[in-house]
Amino acid sequence: MERGSMHADQLERWGVLYALGLGPGDPGLVTVRAAELLHSCPVVAFPVDSQGDPGRSYRIAEPYLAAARIELPLRMPMTGHVPTLTAAWGGGDRRHRGARVQRARRGLPVLG
């Protein structure tokens, strides 16, 4: 689907995922636009380690996050083993369908 071609009813159904780059690791270097999105999104998805502790990306973004937010910790195993990934990711959390969600990470905002 081309950028800008989604209709309002589709946005309500599917929501919006923002992949935000948080810069080189200094919270003071987060862009103004990223800070605005971090503050305005009601749902924040972020990677956690095997103990459930958030990583550096979350700590960088935390000062900019909305006080009333829903947090979606994402267990991100560093493996190509499909059964391990399937077990970790499950079918996804559908409670937030139609919401604006942001996933912030250090460096470039890639979806991999």
Q: Is the full-model pTM beyond 0.75?
A: no
Tokens 């924040």 belong to: 44
For 25-58, the pLDDT digits (tens) are 888 999 999 999 999 988 888 888 778 888 888 8
- Using the Cα atoms of residue 85, residue 66, residue 56 and residue 50 in order, give the sign of their dihedral: negative
**Per-domain residue ranges for the chain?**
8-105
**What would you report as the CA-atom Rg of the chain, rounded to the nearest whole angstrom?**
15
For 69-89, the pLDDT digits (tens) are 889 888 777 677 778 777 776
Q: What is the identity of the amino acid at 75?
A: R
- The fold of the 8-105 domain, in CATH, is Cobalt-precorrin-4 Transmethylase; domain 1 (3.40.1010)
For 5-17, the pLDDT digits (tens) are 556 666 566 777 8
